[in-house]
Amino acid sequence: MKSIIRKLSVVCAAATMSLGTMMIGAADAQTVVRFGHVDGEGDLLANPYWAYTEVFSSIVKSHTGGRYEIQVFPNGQLGDLESLLEQNARGSLQIVGGLNAGHVAAYAPAAQVLEMPYTFSTTEVAREVLEGPFGKKLSDTVAEQSGVRILNYLPSAFRNFSNSVRPIRTPEDMVGLKIRTQQVPIHIKMVEALGASPTPIAWAELYSALQTGVVDGQENAPYTMLLANLQEVQKYYTLDHHLINMPLITINEEFYQGLSDEDRAAFDYAGRQATFAMLGIIAAKESQDLKVIEKAGVEIYQPTAEEFQAFVEKTQQPIAEILTEQVGAELISELQQAIADAQD
């Protein structure tokens, strides 16, 4: 795994260093493109978004001859995710990283189809589905409904439940727990279906809320837990894989369509390469992340096949009914067929 991480780090570093050689003598950038996200920077392994923005920025600049320069605003400098999405839709912020489908659904209901719990069996299947015709069609639909296009899907890892009260082995163990969720209706309904009490809390306030007992638990992927040091304030972590952690990179549609064909191709290529760098780092270090969480004193539990199915049965039907009303049975069927094709 260390060799994989070293190779991915070299890719990221090389992409950044290439600016020094490829841009010698190039004209000054004519257009500054603002890119906002809420995560940190400074360490490719600890902050995977930095890997994305470093690779994306350097490739865009080099492949457009310096006509475009990406100005990155990390750590929520421009606001929380909801605010970043609003700015993205207005066009005052060209690119945003880290939104999920539930956020985007506030502007484009079709995006909610990605929030069906226990849908994707692996991150590899999710990547194939979303890099294929289904993902392209959904991006077009979201752009039409919201003015924001999904430039890249980042199915990075699975989200799991953690808490500080008791081990969660079956849905019955969820009953009565106060679980932090994002302000996403489908996430809230999913937690309710499992018998727990969903409590929307902002990301920046989550550590304190867990530490003081405002909520008992939360749900996130291993690398996300470590980004916020949540292993310090949780005792149990159940690998139930209820949702795939799929942050999105979104771009203002008017800005995107205003690019020349050549420059649009450069942005698309930069996004693909940056996605490879970020997802590669997360995948390579996931087993190590789990060891770090366990070493911190967190008890990690892997449900049996029967226990996993109990979670599926509690959540999929009620969520499917809601999604059918909001996005239509046809879109759900198209996603299910794309998944079946990818699994085959």
State both tokens at 300.
């990690």
Q: Residue 71: what are its φ and ψ, rounded to 5°? A: -105, 115
pTM above 0.75, yes or no: yes
pLDDT in tens, 217-260: 999 999 999 989 999 999 999 999 999 999 999 999 999 999 99
3-state secondary structure at position 249: strand
| Residue where the block lists tokens 């390579």 | 284
State both tokens at 205.
């306030």
Which pLDDT does position 24 carry in this prediction?
Answer: 33
122 or 6: which carries more pLDDT confidence? 122
Q: What percent of the chain stands above pLDDT 90?
A: 82
C-alpha 336 chain-centroid distance: 20
Do the beta carbons of residue 223 and residue 278 sit within 8 Å? no
Q: How confident is the model at residue 90 (pLDDT cuts 50, 70, 90)?
A: very high
CA distance 191 to 199: 9
> Which of 200-204, 209-213, 327-331 has the weakest average pLDDT?
200-204
Do the beta carbons of residue 236 and residue 307 sit within 8 Å? no
* Nearest of 246, 238, 256 to residue 307 by alpha carbon: 238
> Which of 14-23, 33-42, 157-166, 182-191 has the weakest average pLDDT?
14-23
- Half-sphere exposure of 222 toward its Cβ, with a 13 Å CA cutoff? 22
Which pLDDT does position 42 carry in this prediction?
Answer: 77
Q: How confident is the model at residue 11 (pLDDT cuts 50, 70, 90)?
A: very low
Q: How confident is the model at residue 200 (pLDDT cuts 50, 70, 90)?
A: very high
Which pLDDT does position 20 carry in this prediction?
Answer: 41
**Surface-to-core class of residue 133, CB atoms within 10 Å of its CB (0-12 exposed, 13-18 middle, 19+ buried):** exposed
Which pLDDT does position 39 carry in this prediction?
Answer: 87
Q: What percent of the chain stands above pLDDT 70?
A: 92
Please report, as a single letter, which amino acid is at residue 285: K
204 or 293: which carries more pLDDT confidence? 293
Which pLDDT does position 28 carry in this prediction?
Answer: 47
